[in-house]
Structure 1
Amino acid sequence: MKKFNFRNIRVRKVTVDELDDRMLLINLYMTQSLIFIIGFVWVLFQRQNVNKLFSFPKTLDFLYFGAGLALIVIILDLLISKFVPDEAMDDGGVNDRMFGNRPVWHIIVISFIVAVCEELLFRGAIQYAIGPYWTSIVFAVIHIRYLKHWIPTAIVFLSSYGLGLIYEHTGSIWAPIVAHFLIDLVMGLIIRFRRKS
């Protein structure tokens, strides 16, 4: 049996244009799986009750706060996009590639998976440990494709901080999940149909 030599592994930086659609989706789903696993394990190490964390609230406050924050973030993003040059909002083409030709049902699925996985890690685990401000800094850094431009980085930070605040206010992780889902869904649909037209 031939031995596997780890020294033969070569790592190089790949741009989004070099990935085909299949590899882009594999990358997305693998990344989200990793985020979910890290978040789940971190929550367990913090001795939090996962069932309690994901228990569905008895009132609809979480829905109002989630939808309200999503509306604010979407309007803010659209207003900024209207007055700021495209170069200042550039994410390297990732969002266009991710949502541009995707069927609507798949945009819904992607938005839901990303919302649940990222909110478990960032609000459920990290915010529990270090609070909403520092969690938002980590959240902005993780969204590395925006770091070349300060305006999208600021939007990501402020969105994350808002997600943290509604999580603390409602006491339910479903509030930031709803907001995150709606933000990604609406922005994904805008990209999808703007590109189509």
Structure 2
Amino acid sequence: MKKFDMRKIRFKKVTIDQIDDRLLLINLYATQAITLIIGLIWIFFQHRNPLLLFGIPEGWSFALWGIGLAGLVIVVDLLISRFVPEDVSDDGGVNDRIFRGRPVWHIIVLSFIIAVCEETLFRGAIQQHIGPYWTSILFATIHVRYLRHWIPTGLVFSISYALGWIYIETGTLWAPVIAHFLIDMIMGLLIRFRREQ
């Protein structure tokens, strides 16, 4: 049996154009699964019940918080995209590759999975430990594709902070999940149909 040699492992920088659609989706689903697992483990080690995190509260005010934040973010994003040159807010084409040509049902499913997984980790687990400010710094850093430009980095930080704030205000993870879902879904649909025209 041949011995495995760690020194023979080589990493190669790959651009988004060098990844086919299948590999991109596998990567996306795998990272979201890892995000969810880390979030659930973190919550478990905080001696909290992850199922209680997803309990649906009485009333619908939490949904209004999520819808309101999503609406505000979309308006701000559309204004930025209208008045700021495209190269300043470029993410390297990742969002375009994820959503372009994707069926509407798949955009909805992707947006929901991303919202639940990321909010479980960042708002449900990390924010509980280090607060909304440092969680937002970490959230912006994790979205590495935006770090080349200060406008999208600042926008991601601000959105994350706002998601953390509505989580505190409503006391339920569903408010930031709804906001995150709507933001990703609407922006994904805009990318898809803009590219179709």
TM-score range, shorter chain: over 0.9
Give the Cα separation in 1 of the matches to 2:139 and 2:153: 10
Written as runs of structure 1 = structure 2, the 5 A alignment for 1:91-110 is 91-110=91-110
Give yes or no for the alignment of 1:81 onto 2:73. no
Written as runs of structure 1 = structure 2, the 5 A alignment for 1:100-139 is 100-139=100-139
Name the counterpart of 1:54: 54
Name the counterpart of 1:35: 35
Provide Cα deviations, 1:132-158, integer angstroms capped at 9, x if missing partner: 111111100110100000000111011
Give the Cα separation in 2 of the matches to 1:60 and 1:13: 46
Greater displacement, 45-54 / 171-180: 45-54
**TM-score normalized by structure 2?**
0.98
Percentage of identical aligned residues: 64
Cα distance, 1:122 vs structure 2: 0.3
Provide Cα deviations, 1:156-180, integer angstroms capped at 9, x if missing partner: 0110011001000000000000000
Cα distance, 1:8 vs structure 2: 2.5
Provide Cα deviations, 1:54-105, integer angstroms capped at 9, x if missing partner: 1111111110000000000000000011000000110000000000111111
Greater displacement, 180-189 / 9-18: 9-18
Give the Cα separation in 1 of the matches to 2:13 and 2:27: 14
**TM-score normalized by structure 1?**
0.98
Report SS of the residue matched to 1:189. Answer: helix
Gaps of 5+ in 2: none
Give the Cα separation in 1 of the matches to 2:109 and 2:13: 28
Give the Cα separation in 1 of the matches to 2:88 and 2:2: 51
Name the counterpart of 2:169: 169
Name the counterpart of 1:141: 141
Give the Cα separation in 1 of the matches to 2:5 and 2:131: 43
Over the aligned positions, Cα root-mean-square deviation in angstroms equals 0.8
Gaps of 5+ in 1: none
Q: Structure 2: which amino acid aligns with 1:51?
A: L
Cα distance, 1:2 vs structure 2: 3.3
Give the Cα separation in 2 of the matches to 1:52 and 1:30: 25
- Structure 1 runs (4+) deviating above 4 angstroms are none
Name the counterpart of 1:196: 196
Give the Cα separation in 2 of the matches to 1:164 and 1:12: 36
Aligned length: 197
Name the counterpart of 1:2: 2
Name the counterpart of 1:181: 181
Cα distance, 1:50 vs structure 2: 1.1
Q: Structure 2: which amino acid aligns with 1:57?
A: P
Name the counterpart of 2:14: 14
Cα distance, 1:3 vs structure 2: 3.2
